[in-house]
Amino acid sequence: MTHPLTQYSSEEKMFRDAVTDFARSRVAPHAAEMDREGHLVPSLVPELFELGVMGVEIPEAYGGAGSSFFNAILAVEALATVDPSVSVVVDVQNTLVANALLRWSSEAQKQQYLPRMTREWVGSYALSEAGSGSDAFALATRAEKRGDKWVLNGRKLWITNANESSLFIVFANVDPSKGYKGITAFLVERGFPGFSVGKKEDKLGIRASSTCELILEDCEVPLDNVLGEVGKGYRIAIETLNEGRIGIGAQMLGLAQGAFDVAMRYLHERKQFGQFLGNFQGLQFQYARCAVDIESARLMVYNAARLKDAGQPFIKEAAMAKLHASEVAERVASMCIEFAGGVGFTKDYPLEKFYRDAKIGKIYEGTSNMQLQTIAKLLQADYGFKG
C-alpha cells in the first residue's frame, strides 16, 4: 500500500523501505516457528544490530546512527508488519532504554554503555512488579546503600527482552518513607552478583518476545550506576514511558497494516460465485473502513513522533496515538480473519497470529484506561477546569 509522499522525506522512505525489506526477507521466514517455539531465532538479534535499528537515535560518536526518534518509529512499524514480536525488541531498545540513557545518563555512563547498545547489548526496562502495574509507583523493590555499592532486593515482572538483555534499567525505592520521591533508577548489568532472570511467561501473543521475571537478591550495583539522580527515578519512569507509548502505537500500526496486506491479497485471489471476494460490495465497504482506520492511526502516531522530535508538547498526542492504534490493531486483525474465512482461523495463514499479537497493545506501557485518564487530565488543563 502506498502512502502520501509528504509523510516521509526521501531519506526516511529509504530507511523505512530497507527495514521493510529486511523484515520480509529475514524475519518472515521464521515468524511462525518463533511464535510456535516461543523464542527468537538467535541469529536475528545480531542481524538487527547489523541493520542499524538497535541504536537509531544514539549519536555517531557512540557508534549509533545519529538519526531521529521518527526513524526509530518507522523501524518499529516496518518490523511489526511481519512480526510484532521482533518489532517490540527494537521498540524497547530505542524508545525506552536508549532514550533513557541519552536523556539521563552521565557522560561516563554514556561512554560505558551506549557503544555496547549499538553493537551487541540488548536492553530492558524493569519497572513493573506483582503489585505495581498501572500504579507504577507502588513498587516494592528496595535499594540500600552499603559502603561502596547499592544493594537491591525485590522482583520485577513482565520484563520485555529479559532473556536477551545484558543491561537493565531497574527501578527501586531507596527510602519508602518518601513515597515516590524515593524511587531511583539503576543501571544493572546481567552479570552483577545477586541478579538473575527467572520464569519466562507463556503468553497469548508476541510469543517470541521474551517476557520474564527478574530476581534481585542482594544484587550489588556500583554507586556510579545510578541513572540520573537518587530519588528522581519517578521522573525518568514517567517521561520515558511517555515516549515509549508512541513506539507501542507504531507497533500496533504496523501490525494492522501487516494483517490488512495479507487479507487484501487473499480477497483478490479467492473466488466465490464466479468473482473475486474483493469485488463484493459488502466486503469493499468493510475493507475500506479498515484502510481509513489504519491511516488515521498512522497519522496520529507520526504526528506524536514528529512533535517529540520538534521538542513540542506531545504527551496527550502520544496517549491518543497509543490508545487509537491499539484499538485499530485489534479491530482490523479481527476483521481480516473474517475476510479470509476458515483459512484465516488456521495457523496456515498469519492472520490469527496478528490477532493474538494485537491484544497486548491495550495493556502494556499503560492500559487503555490509563491513556484515557491522561488524555482527560490534559484536556481539563487545556480547557481550564477547576479542581
Band (pLDDT 50/70/90 cuts) for residue 133 is confident
Range list for CATH 1.20.140.10 in the chain = 235-382
Interaxial angle between packed helices 69-80 and 10-22, expressed in degrees from 0 to 180 and rounded to the nearest 10 = 30
Average pLDDT over residues 190-205: 98
CB 76 within 8 A of CB 94: yes
Residue-level pLDDT at 284 = 95
CB 293 within 8 A of CB 286: no
Residue-level pLDDT at 5 = 47
Residue-level pLDDT at 268 = 94
Band (pLDDT 50/70/90 cuts) for residue 123 is very high
Query: Considering only the top CATH level, what class is 124-231?
Result: mainly beta
Does the CA dihedral 25-29-32-33 come out positive or negative?
Answer: negative
Nearest CA-CA partner of 16 in 44, 42, 52, 47: 52
Residue-level pLDDT at 8 = 85
Residue-level pLDDT at 271 = 82
**Model's pTM, two decimal places?**
0.96
CB 325 within 8 A of CB 361: yes
Better-scored residue on pLDDT, 380 or 6? 380
What 3-state class would DSSP assign to 145? strand
Range list for CATH 2.40.110.10 in the chain = 124-231
Q: What is the pLDDT of residues 151-170, one digit of tens each?
A: 999 999 999 999 999 999 99
Burial class (CB in 10 A: 0-12, 13-18, 19+), 312: exposed
- Could you count the other beta carbons within 10 Å of the beta carbon of residue 5? 9
Strands (E), the chain: 122-126, 142-146, 149-160, 165-173, 183-189, 195-200, 211-222, 226-227, 271-272, 275-276
Nearest CA-CA partner of 123 in 114, 132, 131: 114
Band (pLDDT 50/70/90 cuts) for residue 136 is confident
Burial class (CB in 10 A: 0-12, 13-18, 19+), 127: buried
Written as nine digits, the cell of 179 is 513515597
252: CB partners within 8 A, 6+ apart: 80, 297, 322, 325, 326, 328, 329, 358, 361
What share of the chain has pLDDT > 70, as a percent? Answer: 98
Interaxial angle between packed helices 28-37 and 351-358, expressed in degrees from 0 to 180 and rounded to the nearest 10 = 60
Instruction: Name the residue type at position 360.
Output: I
Place of cell 513498587: 139
Give the right CATH number for 235-382 from 1.10.486.10, 1.10.4080.10, 2.60.260.20, 1.20.140.10: 1.20.140.10
Range list for CATH 1.10.540.10 in the chain = 5-122
Average pLDDT, the chain: 96
Average pLDDT over residues 169-175: 97
Architecture of domain 5-122: Orthogonal Bundle (1.10)
CB 204 within 8 A of CB 359: yes
Cα dihedral 39→90→26→20 (10° resolution)? 140
Q: Regarding beta strands 165-173 and 122-126, do their DSSP bridges make them parallel or antiparallel, or are they unpaired?
A: parallel
Give strand pairing partners of 124: 168
d(CA 112, CA 124): 17
pLDDT exceeds cutoff 60 at 6: no
> Long-range pairs for 202-207 at CB < 8 Å and ≥24 separation?
202/38, 203/38, 203/360, 204/356, 204/359, 204/360, 205/84, 205/353, 205/356, 205/357, 205/358, 205/359, 205/360, 206/84, 206/85, 206/88, 206/357, 206/360, 207/34, 207/35, 207/36, 207/38, 207/85
Q: What is the pLDDT of residues 51-99, one digit of tens each?
A: 999 999 999 999 999 999 999 999 999 999 999 999 999 999 999 999 9
Nearest CA-CA partner of 209 in 367, 69, 93, 52: 93
| Catalytic center residues | 365
What 3-state class would DSSP assign to 309? helix
- Could you count the other beta carbons within 10 Å of the beta carbon of residue 272? 10
